[in-house]
Amino acid sequence: MTRIICVAGARPNYMKIKPVMDALERRGVEVVLVHTGQHYDPSMNDVFFRDLGIRTPDLYLGAGSGTHAQQTGRVMAAFEPLLDELTPDAVVVVGDINSTLACALVTAKAGPLLAHVEAGLRSRDWSMPEEVNRVATDRVSDYLLAPSPDAAENLRAEGYREDQIHVVGNVMIDTLLANLDRARQSDVLDRYGLTRGGYGLVTLHRPANVDDPAALGGLLKALGEIAERCPLLLPVHPRAAERLADVGVPGGVRLVPAAGYLDFIALQDSARLVLTDSGGIQEETTALGVPCVTLRENTERPITVEEGTNVLAGTDPERILATVNRVLDDPPAPRCPALWDGRASDRIAEVLLAGGSADTRPRPTDLVPTGAGTAPQ
């Protein structure tokens, strides 16, 4: 029997790994779920496992928090002996968190085939730790499982071979579509006294937005002005709670506890618009046809702007306000990219079970140089 390890470590991973596990198990694969423990707060972990019906992890590494180096190192040290013991045929990592890179590096050195789900996404912003994780994980992976054609083009431009690149669609949308009816049965709108189309939904968690008091203050100023036209609901990410309290939240912006998966999908689905700095929410709103304003200067998911409902507003308060007013006056027409159809995980399983060997791993001579002494652009 084929044995495949699936790795998850934090909230952004759970929605991506569940459909892949299901698709592999339907095909008779022995799936070992490894949770690195990068997220361990119940609001970021337990409720998502329960909402998504993810089984208890087979192994829990307990990585915890810390600096990027500490967290990555702890995951690597814990994952290496586990890999030696289990001798899997392949390892699947998803997304771009520290756990993704840590387990990818260990796997590449140990020898099993390595598959990266969401390969090829690029923001080209090297100040984002996630960008470093994405590029490094792709570089050591055998299977590059891209969610969209633009991601595949990024990989081709970086010199990867065509036989490594597979455009499979978006696993986040597999999970969204599988759970949408359940989410719409949630009573979260009643709990908060909301009506469909009567509020905006906000999420803030990226360090560039919440760790700098001046940057956060500017964002909150803009949100306060937007709230005069459209009341805003802001589920508080644990890492942002204290900083929001320190800066002060303007009137019209209502703070609520972090939401579970089903409640949050229900809140997105019924919002007049969503303001976010999250990559995954750009994708979910596109699939739901809900206008999204991204509070960042760049996005690794440009397809949500080109073919979806997402608008990139940056972080300047005046630009944000002008963008939101434009979106409220003339919402973008709902559009959904090709292959965001709920079957990405099946395509992934078919790729992984089609065969191959660790000898397919890219070597430096296979790759087009990106420039002496410079990071790939």
Residues 258-278 have pLDDT tens digits of 999 999 999 999 999 999 999
Task: Decide: helix, strand or coil at residue 166.
Answer: strand
Query: Looking at residue 44, what is its pLDDT?
Result: 60
**Mean pLDDT calculated for residue range 220-230:** 96
Mean pLDDT computed over 108-125: 96
> What is the rounded distance in angstroms from the CA atom of residue 164 to the CA atom of residue 257?
42
CA neighbours closer than 13 Å in the CB half-sphere of residue 92: 31
Cβ atoms of 137 and 96 closer than 8 Å: yes
Which token pair is 9? Answer: 């470590």
Instruction: Give the E-state strand segments of the chain in sequence order.
Output: 3-8, 30-35, 59-60, 90-94, 113-117, 143-146, 165-167, 200-203, 232-236, 253-257, 273-276, 292-294, 310-312
pLDDT in tens, 148-177: 999 999 999 999 999 999 999 999 999 999
Of the ranges 121-125, 207-211, 306-310, which one carries the lowest mean pLDDT score? 207-211
Distance, CA of 292 to CA of 325 (rounded, Å)? 12
Confidence (pLDDT) at 364: 38
Distance CA 255, CA 271 (A): 16
pLDDT, mean of residues 293-299: 96
Measured CA to CA in angstroms, residue 316 lies from 89, 158, 222, 294 at distances of 48, 32, 9, 12
Q: Give the per-residue pLDDT at 331.
A: 96
Question: Under 8 Å CB-to-CB from 364, ≥6 apart: which residues?
Answer: none
Q: Letter for the amino acid at 127?
A: S
* Nearest alpha carbon to residue 118 among 107, 317, 106, 101: 101
**Catalytic annotation, pick one of 35, 39, 205, 237:** 205
**289: nearest Cα among 338, 341, 335:** 335
How many angstroms separate the CA atoms of 97 and 12, rounded?
A: 8
Q: How many residues does the chain have?
A: 377
According to the model, what pLDDT value does residue 370 have? 40
Question: What long-range pairs does 60-68 form, CB within 8 A, spacing at least 24?
Answer: 60/34, 60/35, 61/34, 61/35, 61/36, 61/37, 62/37, 63/9, 63/36, 63/37, 63/38, 63/99, 64/37, 64/38, 64/40, 65/38, 68/98, 68/129
pLDDT of residue 43: 56
| Residue 349, helix vs strand vs coil | helix
Question: What mean pLDDT do residues 123-138 have?
Answer: 95
205 labelled catalytic: yes
Tell me phi and psi for residue 251, to 5 degrees.
-60, 150
Q: Tally Cβ neighbours within 10 Å of residue 132.
A: 16
Strand order in the sheet with 292-294: 253-257, 232-236, 200-203, 273-276, 292-294, 310-312
Report the distance separating Cα 342 and Cα 173, nearest Å. Answer: 6
Q: Residue 168: which of 143, 151, 138, 147 has the closest Cα?
A: 147
Which one, of 74, 48, 53, 52, lies nearest residue 63 by Cα?
74
pLDDT band with cut points at 50, 70 and 90 for residue 207: confident
Q: Nearest-CA neighbor of 224 among 203, 254, 197? A: 254
